[in-house]
Structure 1
Amino acid sequence: MSSKPFVLLGKEIPEGKRTVIDLKVAKLHTRTTVNVPVIIERSNKPGPVVLLLAGIHGDETNGVGIVREIIDIGLNKPKKGTIICIPVFNIFGYLVQTREFPDGRDLNRVFPGTLSGSLASQFAYQFSEKIAPFVDCIIDFHTGGGERDNIAQIRCDKNDLKALELAKVFNPPMIVYSKNIAKSLRDTLTKLGKTVLLFEGGKSKELNPTIINEGVMGTRNVLIHLGMIEGESIVRETPILVKKSKWLRASHSGMLKIRVSNGSYVKKKEILGVVQDPFGEFKKNIYAPFNCHVFCINKTPIVNKGDALFHLSTEE
């Protein structure tokens, strides 16, 4: 007995087939149509529908690299259920390597969108109406903005027990408690009853092999756990759980010299970095204010007073 039809974006997705559908975004002023490819692999057996999505911010290329690698090695071909891949969600931003949509808006702050709002809002509305209701689990791949370099981590709300369980299955170096942000993709999908994992790793405008490998292996673990693909999970030690965190900011302006490795554990008063002027007249050490883990470092060479430099856990 065959399973019931699965329809996405108005098209029935056949069992056991690869289907690519274009999600229409808009037309440029040159009349060129801009589409977002949606790659669907549906097995012959019923099961969960998992969405792997990257590039909601156009300059976050590590996420694009993760989903691309998943497709390349065939992890998106399930033995049970359906896997949907959207490697580049914000196609406009990706083309010119910017975070925003052409209207200047952050796409991840306009969900669930409106039918007649801004371009970003209309696009978010299409996704919220035509794709979101038909998926069960979503892994949303991100990086740090600008020069902020994140250790590979999964972020989830501490009260979302299903997401927390899957985060442990993903098995990243760190799991960070993070509240849903209003009008974000994660917030909208969670309100629809979906299970959402938000992956953060690396920084924008890079393809970091370590981060890409973390994303691919973690996704593989989740798909195995859900019974969608075969294999043995790759599990190291228990991920570090960051329940509370704080940004350590620059007390002076100058050139930043980093003295600590991302993801490391440091003790109170250990030197994290040095801010110095270009004329050799002053040098100010940046000390750890308490025992903590470092899970994001701002790697910009020049900092201003008040800039966020190190993201630290605030309890061991």
Structure 2
Amino acid sequence: MTYNQKKSITILGKDINVGESRELSFGVANLHTSSSVDVPVIVERSKKPGPVVLFTAGIHGDEVNGVEIVRQIIAKGINKPKRGTIICMPVINVFGFVNLERQFPDGRDLNRVFPGSSKGSLASRVAHKLMKEIIPDVDFILDFHTGGSGRFNAPQIRLIKDKPDLDDFAHVFNAPFVLYSKNIKKTFRNACTKLGKPILLYEGGKSFHIDAQVTNTGVNGAKRILKHFDMLSSKFKTTTPKISPVFINNSRWQRANFSGMFKPSAKISSKVNKGDVLGNITDPYGKLNHFVKASHSGYIINVNESPIVYQGDALFHITTKLK
């Protein structure tokens, strides 16, 4: 991968030279109380040339697990590179994060308005500022996400197919699963891809929740990526899991046949065979006890952890075709 070798890079209109450490403010708008909202952007540059790597999280304000991963990267000093530059943005949608809401105050999903507009909605203006004032000098992006409310995602990397360099990066990161998924229009991932910026999207856990295994997988994956670029400080060590990632071409949701109280018994990331009991649905009166059985064989990469489900609700996301 070719990388930025400028002695000075420009982030949020500020020139940052090699060897400098800066904390900048990604400000777009105040709260309705006129209080300012400052989103710290933490930049660490080595004196030695190397890639510019960006760690982002909190595009959705309720996805606190990703925020915790980037927080740990900063708190542990992993973001101080041996060479090159590391930029950390732990909370992009600070408006949603304050209220633990997925969307912006304008009701828009930030991850559906990229590349944004300087004259658009609040979410669109944030997307535009990110793409125009941070991304241009970046060489590689790791974007941390979380599953939806009540649905727990197995730790996984998502990327587009037929990009050998992304496959290589996914192997380096070494999450348990790698899911091929098309870029959705107007997402951050799609906007970066159009600019030729390699980006890996990490998913793990569920909203409103911090899971130690998911965060550890994210932090360790970030360390492996930095080591791959020869950017990781020598005081940090990495380990390579004995099992390689499972690359997934296709997957399918298994849905509830009945409404009721749901109790999953199959574990996230486990491999199941067709006909295996995955959980059961009961009613409050002791009359219904429906066993949910696997409709096909595969790995479980998402489990609905909601105690109440309705007929047709997605219960388990199970792989159907591996690479």
The TM-score normalised by the length of structure 1 is 0.97
- Report the residue type matching 1:310 in the other structure: F
- Report the residue type matching 1:39 in the other structure: I
Q: For the residues of structure 2 that align with 1:267 and 1:273, how far apart are their CA atoms?
A: 14
**TM-aligned CA deviation for residue 160 of structure 1:** 2.2
Q: Confirm whether residue 245 of structure 1 aligns to residue 218 of structure 2.
A: no
**TM-aligned CA deviation for residue 180 of structure 1:** 0.7
| Residue aligning to 1:163 | 166
2:297 to 284, 291, 295: 291
Q: For the residues of structure 2 that align with 1:3 and 1:14, how far apart are their CA atoms?
A: 9
Q: For the residues of structure 2 that align with 1:121 and 1:7, how far apart are their CA atoms?
A: 22
**TM-aligned CA deviation for residue 205 of structure 1:** 0.8
Q: For the residues of structure 2 that align with 1:5 and 1:151, how far apart are their CA atoms?
A: 39
The runs of at least 4 aligned residues of structure 1 exceeding 2 Å deviation read 230-233
More deviation, 9-18/149-158: 9-18
* Structure 2 unmatched runs, 5+: none
Q: For the residues of structure 2 that align with 1:252 and 1:182, how far apart are their CA atoms?
A: 34
Q: For the residues of structure 2 that align with 1:163 and 1:193, how far apart are their CA atoms?
A: 12
| Residue aligning to 2:201 | 198
Q: What are the within-5 Å matches in structure 2 for residues 74-153 of structure 1?
A: 74-153=77-156
| Residue aligning to 1:263 | 269
Q: For the residues of structure 2 that align with 1:185 and 1:112, how far apart are their CA atoms?
A: 7
Equivalent position SS for 2:26: strand
2:240 to 235, 238, 241: 235
**TM-aligned CA deviation for residue 10 of structure 1:** 1.1
Q: Confirm whether residue 313 of structure 1 aligns to residue 311 of structure 2.
A: no
**TM-aligned CA deviation for residue 85 of structure 1:** 0.1
**TM-aligned CA deviation for residue 28 of structure 1:** 1.9
Q: For the residues of structure 1 that align with 2:25 and 2:107, how far apart are their CA atoms?
A: 23
- Report the residue type matching 1:127 in the other structure: L
- Contact kept in structure 1, 2:80 and 2:233, CA below 8 Å: no
- Contact kept in structure 2, 1:291 and 1:315, CA below 8 Å: no
Q: Confirm whether residue 224 of structure 1 aligns to residue 227 of structure 2.
A: yes
Q: For the residues of structure 2 that align with 1:283 and 1:229, how far apart are their CA atoms?
A: 53
- Contact kept in structure 1, 2:7 and 2:18, CA below 8 Å: no
Q: For the residues of structure 2 that align with 1:294 and 1:40, how far apart are their CA atoms?
A: 38
- Report the residue type matching 1:234 in the other structure: T
Q: For the residues of structure 2 that align with 1:161 and 1:108, how far apart are their CA atoms?
A: 25
- Contact kept in structure 2, 1:248 and 1:312, CA below 8 Å: yes
Q: For the residues of structure 2 that align with 1:162 and 1:84, how far apart are their CA atoms?
A: 21
**TM-aligned CA deviation for residue 3 of structure 1:** 5.2
Q: Confirm whether residue 277 of structure 1 aligns to residue 280 of structure 2.
A: no
* Structure 1 unmatched runs, 5+: none
Equivalent position SS for 1:25: coil
Q: For the residues of structure 2 that align with 1:155 and 1:269, how far apart are their CA atoms?
A: 28
The TM-score normalised by the length of structure 2 is 0.95
Equivalent position SS for 1:27: coil
Q: For the residues of structure 2 that align with 1:144 and 1:79, how far apart are their CA atoms?
A: 33
**TM-aligned CA deviation for residue 77 of structure 1:** 0.5
Equivalent position SS for 2:321: coil
More deviation, 226-235/199-208: 226-235
**Cα deviation code 1:253-291 (max 9, x no counterpart):** 100011100000001100111111111111111111111
**Cα deviation code 1:225-270 (max 9, x no counterpart):** 0111245542111111111001111111100011100000001100
Q: For the residues of structure 2 that align with 1:58 and 1:133, how far apart are their CA atoms?
A: 24
Q: For the residues of structure 2 that align with 1:304 and 1:104, how far apart are their CA atoms?
A: 26
Q: For the residues of structure 2 that align with 1:173 and 1:278, how far apart are their CA atoms?
A: 37
Q: For the residues of structure 2 that align with 1:98 and 1:109, how far apart are their CA atoms?
A: 15
Equivalent position SS for 2:192: helix
1:173 to 152, 164, 176: 176
RMSD of aligned Cα (Å):
1.2
- Contact kept in structure 1, 2:7 and 2:17, CA below 8 Å: no
